[in-house]
Amino acid sequence: MNETIRFRIRRSPADGGAGNGYQEYDVPFTRGMSVMDGLDYIYEHLDGSLAYYDHAACNQGICRRCLARIDGQTGLLCQTLVTADTTVEPIPTQDVERDLVTKRGRDRNG
Amino acid sequence: MKTIRTDVLIVGGGGAGFRAAIAARQANAETLLVSKGPLARCGASPMAGADLTCHGLGMRQAGFFGEPRDSEEKFFSDIVHQGCFLNDQPLAERFVRDGPQRLIETLEWGCEPYLCDERAIFTSGVGIVDAHLSEARRLGTSFLDDTAVLELIVHDGQVCGAVGLDIRSGEILRFDCHAVVLATGGWHKAYTPVTGSKELTGDGVAMAYRAGAKVANMEFVTFACNVPVWPPVWRGSIVTYAMSLMCGGTLENANRERFLDQYDPETVAIASSTEWNKSFFSFATAREIRAGRGTPHGGVYYVTGDTPWPEFEARALRSYPDWKVKGADFSELGRMLRDGEGVEVAGAAEYFEGGVLVDDRFASSVPGLFAAGECAMSLFGANRVAAATMEMLVSGAIAGTAAGEFAQSHPSSEPPEDRVRTATEAIEAPLRKPSGHGIGHLRHDLQEAASAMLGPVRCGEELEAFLRMLEDARSDRLPNLGLSTTTRSYNKEWIESLEIENLLLVLELSARAALERTESRGVHYREDHPITDNDGWLREIVMSPNRDGVHVEHRPVRVTSLRPPSGTQPYLEMVREMMCAHSDVGGHH
């Protein structure tokens, strides 16, 4: 039952992704876990420097702000189920703020 | 440091904030709304089901079927009984009176209803907030998103500004203003599971309290019942909550016993068909779990019960075609229900009755500081059955008008530099701590403890243990936790370090109030005090900061037309009596 899966995550250069590369983490696998659950595990237990857009995440597929590229497909971190080793990257068409957080969708005229 | 000047600063990017912005703009005040997350896509509003409640005559005014026998008096009476007479009656009267107009304008601004009953329209939370955001925008509100307002500046006896953090860039922002409306919602993140977004950390209540404002009713927390705890991807969804109202079904404990059978059948029947379900089923579920009859992941089983599967499925599919809910796939959940496995569910933190003590204009005890929506003391008293979405619109409109007028009649002086510097240093302090790791872990521990010890069922011993744990977290654990990285850009540990300060404060106030209230009423049940005491406890617990810590006072509830009962009675008898006192108006409220 102590199955683990490997997350391969694209990091910003200053945050462990030397040469704009990837960092890998082993995460305990649970059936019915989302990519967001995996990232939460990494953040809480393995690497608190990891950035992904979740400070205001709804976790229910409603806010749609946790979009990322998951194994090459664009999807919501909170609604995409993990079934095997998983690669997570920022949305390629958007500038990166840090790690998986992109500069999309700011709303300000203040 | 960037300084932004405005007349009225509104903190919160959900329904209460938008409605307050509309009102402040209508009062001709320059208005800036700052949202911690994305506008109209954070907080609790967009996550709501959502119903918008109004008495039957108001429903008819708005062009819907509405119960013609209904009246303002009946709706008011029902709300006060549901609140177990702890409601602030002047505010509850405003809620009833202003409802029709709030409903009509919500529709005018583009929100589309898809169903209605005797006292409510049913639409989506997203629909409600989008309609109000576009109206606030049209009226010339300025906006700032992904920005946390973290400290208020009070000078010369009134609010004159605030200091915040741009979460993406890590830049500190200073706001100079003449009035502030807090619309920051609850402190869902203190619990697990929850039905609100992750940024709800009691920021408004905590900074108001630090600024000297009184808070009240902090012991009352409503848990949505029948919310999945497993698998992780469904955790916190309201899909089974809604299903239980639409399709029926019942609950079983780990021994596969239908434990609701041990309660009064009428109480169960009323709870099953109305939004009394939240408080009663969350209470009954918590009792099973505490008695050691919980499921492997800390819940009970939601099963189809006496509803035959074809009927259950047909009703479910009417609202959730193909078992799809807002982009999420629940077909596996359908299979689990069909095959009789059941879904592991429990109460999830949903609504916080406690908050900033407000007067008839939703003004706090600090001049220039107003509060609306969930971060203000609830007008629903000890238990909410009618819609919080309507409460946010009613209170937002009143607070926004009051703040807009106040800002123009009471110009404040500029925030003193030293006060801004102190606030800035406090925000930046985590960046200067020695490196370390474990903020996320500490938050996780707090969530587990709050859910277990400050949930629907409490007892004195556990509340005392919980308070000790909070003290330990504040004095021992937090000071030793540094950040894994000192980058300013989207630093999750930095943000959480600041949030945890607020969570620790609101949890402490909530646990102290729960310990102080030695009776059971509404959503506050004390195992060691299972009696509702109408002689001793028709009082609100009001807290404010003083030199020695927390100053606690009791305020008798404000009564207008409904005289509260007297005497004492067992909790469940009081619940049944309050349920059965309902007027002859049908529907879910």
- Is residue A53 domain-resident? yes
pLDDT at A13 over 90: no
Q: B37-85 pLDDT, tens per residue?
A: 999 999 999 999 889 999 999 999 999 999 999 999 999 999 999 999 9
- Is residue B192 domain-resident? yes
Query: Is residue B76 located within the same domain as residue B199?
Result: yes
Domain that holds residue B324: 222-349
- Is residue A44 domain-resident? yes
Place A105 in a pLDDT band, splitting at 50, 70 and 90: low
Domain that holds residue A78: 4-102
Lowest mean pLDDT among A16-20, A102-106, B169-173: A16-20
Nearest CA to B36 out of A5, A53, A100, A26 is that of: A53
**Is the distance from CB of B186 to CB of B218 less than 8 angstroms?**
no
For every residue of B361-392, DSSP letters joined together read T-B-SSTTEEE-GGGBPPTTTT---S-HHHHH
Place A110 in a pLDDT band, splitting at 50, 70 and 90: very low
Q: What is the mean pLDDT of residues B508-527?
A: 98
Lowest mean pLDDT among B152-166, B214-228, B320-334, B414-428: B320-334
What is the rounded distance in angstroms from the CA atom of residue B252 to the CA atom of residue B555? 41
Residues of A in contact with B41 (CB under 8 A): 56, 58, 62-65
CATH code assigned at B173: 3.50.50.60
Q: B217-250 pLDDT, tens per residue?
A: 999 999 999 999 999 999 999 999 999 999 999 9
- Is residue A108 domain-resident? no
Residues of A in contact with B144 (CB under 8 A): 108, 110
CATH code assigned at B258: 3.90.700
**Is the distance from CB of B316 to CB of B304 less than 8 angstroms?**
no
- Is residue B335 domain-resident? yes
What is the rounded distance in angstroms from the CA atom of residue B278 to the CA atom of residue B272? 9
What is the rounded distance in angstroms from the CA atom of residue B546 to the CA atom of residue B490? 35
* pLDDT reported for residue A108: 55
CATH code assigned at A61: 3.10.20.30
Q: What is the mean pLDDT of residues B311-328?
A: 90
Question: Beta strands B172-176 and B179-182: pairing type?
Answer: unpaired
| Beta partners for residue B545, in sequence order | B550
**Is the distance from CB of B539 to CB of B556 less than 8 angstroms?**
yes
Q: What is the mean pLDDT of residues A54-71?
A: 94
**Count of A–B CB contacts within 8 Å?**
143
- Is residue A10 domain-resident? yes
Quote the Cα angle for B321-B282-A57, to 5°.
55
Query: Is residue B146 located within the same domain as residue B252?
Result: no
Residues of A in contact with B327 (CB under 8 A): 61-62, 64, 76, 79
- Is residue B327 domain-resident? yes
| Residue B101: exposure state from Cβ atoms within 10 A (0-12, 13-18, ≥19) | middle
Place A18 in a pLDDT band, splitting at 50, 70 and 90: low
- Is residue B387 domain-resident? yes
Question: In chain A, pLDDT over 90 holds for what percent of residues?
Answer: 75
| Maximal C-alpha separation, chain A | 52
Query: Is residue B40 located within the same domain as residue B169?
Result: yes
CB-based contact, A95 to chain B, within 8 Å: no
What is the rounded distance in angstroms from the CA atom of residue B53 to the CA atom of residue B58? 10
B37 vs A34: CB contact, 8 Å cut-off? no
- Is residue B493 domain-resident? no
Query: Is residue B216 located within the same domain as residue B247?
Result: no
CB-based contact, A6 to chain B, within 8 Å: no
- Is residue A73 domain-resident? yes
Specify the length of chain B in residues: 589
Instruction: Please give the residue that has the higher pLDDT: either B443 or A110.
Output: B443
| Residue A87: exposure state from Cβ atoms within 10 A (0-12, 13-18, ≥19) | middle
* pLDDT reported for residue B548: 83
Write out the H or E segment, with its range, that includes residue B53: strand B51-53
B233 vs A76: CB contact, 8 Å cut-off? no
- Is residue A67 domain-resident? yes
Query: Is residue B94 located within the same domain as residue B243?
Result: no
What is the rounded distance in angstroms from the CA atom of residue B328 to the CA atom of residue B238? 12
Q: B101-141 pLDDT, tens per residue?
A: 999 999 999 999 999 999 999 999 999 999 999 999 999 99
pLDDT at A107 over 70: no
Which of B319, B334, B349 corresponds to the end of one domain? B349
B258: how many CB neighbours lie within 10 A of its CB? 14
B489 vs A65: CB contact, 8 Å cut-off? no
Residue of chain B minimizing CA distance to A43? B440
- Is residue B510 domain-resident? no
Which of B323, B349, B375 corresponds to the end of one domain? B349
What is the average pLDDT score of chain B? 96
B485 vs A49: CB contact, 8 Å cut-off? yes
Query: Is residue B245 located within the same domain as residue B342?
Result: yes
Residues of A in contact with B493 (CB under 8 A): 48-49
Which of B349, B364, B383 corresponds to the end of one domain? B349
Q: B430-489 pLDDT, tens per residue?
A: 999 877 778 999 999 999 999 999 999 999 999 999 999 999 999 999 988 899 999 999
Question: In chain B, pLDDT over 90 holds for what percent of residues?
Answer: 95
Place A15 in a pLDDT band, splitting at 50, 70 and 90: low
* pLDDT reported for residue A19: 55
A62 vs B36: CB contact, 8 Å cut-off? no
Task: Give the gap in angstroms from C-alpha B18 to the nearest C-alpha of chain A.
Answer: 14
Query: Is residue B196 located within the same domain as residue B324?
Result: no
Query: Is residue B323 located within the same domain as residue B236?
Result: yes
- Is residue B568 domain-resident? no
B561 SS3 class: coil
Give CA separation, B115 vs B91, B119, B244, in Å.
Answer: 28, 11, 17
**Is the distance from CB of B50 to CB of B125 less than 8 angstroms?**
yes
Q: Domain total for chain A?
A: 1
CB < 8 Å from B in window 9-38 of A? 14-15, 30-34, 37
Quote the Cα angle for B545-B456-B472, to 5°.
45
- Is residue B121 domain-resident? yes
Q: Domain total for chain B?
A: 2
Query: Is residue B286 located within the same domain as residue B414?
Result: no
Query: Is residue B113 located within the same domain as residue B45?
Result: yes
Query: Is residue B192 located within the same domain as residue B333?
Result: no
What is the DSSP code (8-state) at residue B529? B
Query: Is residue B377 located within the same domain as residue B336?
Result: no
Nearest CA to B507 out of B579, B540, B458, B554 is that of: B458
